[in-house]
Amino acid sequence: MFVGATTKGRGLFAGIAALSALLISLIHGAVYSQDTLPSSPSRTGILVLDVTPPDAILTLDGEKIGPVGNFRKELSAGPHEIEISADGYEPTKQKVTIVAGETFRIPLRLAAIPPPPSPAPEKATLVLEVTPPSAILRIDGKPVGRANGYRQELSAGSQLVEILASGYRPSRMTMSLTAGETRPVRLKLARIAPPKPLQPGRNAVGSAYGDSGAETAWQRRSPQYENHRAGPATAGV
């Protein structure tokens, strides 16, 4: 009876030992499998922006981030949209694709917006050098003053310029002035020839009835000529 009980106890002990060994093996296998399994792949990448001007504003995937200077951020792998803008520069928008586990660096230089063109000048400058210096200037019929040394801005287009001086023939010209130009004009007025004096030997009769002073048939038939030959009437006594 005692011997059977001992044998039975030994069998129970052996079973417990076998079970323990199995549990240890399972635990060891689980730990080993965890150590040997490959780690899960990265699902993010890094975006780095190098932008000029550095105070440009960044909008990422529709969300306004702020000044883009020294921007570096981890983003999910895949496509993203960036938009960069700054006062005085043309904005830029583009799509980038972030690769998992990699750093994507983008250098960007915004193009400056050129200033608007200056408005075309609407004035022209007229410069006059006139002889004689006493000549008077009129523009479009309005007296201006001395012509010589004149230098003024005038409206572009056609202008009637008149220059006059006593004893000289006047000058009148229509000038077409182009906006922005300076038009120098040098002008010398022509003198008016004085009237010719009477030649010696001419008399009143010659002046009135002919240049030669000689009598003509027409003069002899003229009552005025007869009165002239009769002389002044004398008063009676």
Q: What is the pLDDT of residues 78-107, one digit of tens each?
A: 999 999 999 999 999 999 999 999 999 999
Of the candidates 96, 93, 95, 84, the residue with the CA atom closest to the CA atom of residue 53: 84
Q: Could you tell me the two tokens for 122?
A: 């609407």
Q: Domain containing 67: what range?
A: 44-109
pLDDT at 128: 95
Residues 87 and 137 in one domain: no
| 234 is a domain residue | no
Range with lowest mean pLDDT among 20-24, 68-72, 207-211: 207-211
| 228 is a domain residue | no
Quick check: pTM over 0.75? Answer: no
Last residue of a domain, one of 109, 133, 162: 109
What is the average pLDDT value for the chain, to the nearest integer? 79
Residues 81 and 54 in one domain: yes
Q: What is the pLDDT of residues 185-213, one digit of tens each?
A: 999 999 998 887 766 655 544 444 444 44
- Give the CATH number, domain containing residue 98: 2.60.40.10
Last residue of a domain, one of 109, 137, 163: 109
Residues 84 and 131 in one domain: no
Residues 92 and 142 in one domain: no
Tell me which amino acid residue 77 is: A
Contacts of 209 (CB under 8 A, 6+ apart): 216, 219, 222, 225
Judge whether residue 109 has pLDDT over 70. Answer: yes
pLDDT at 2: 41
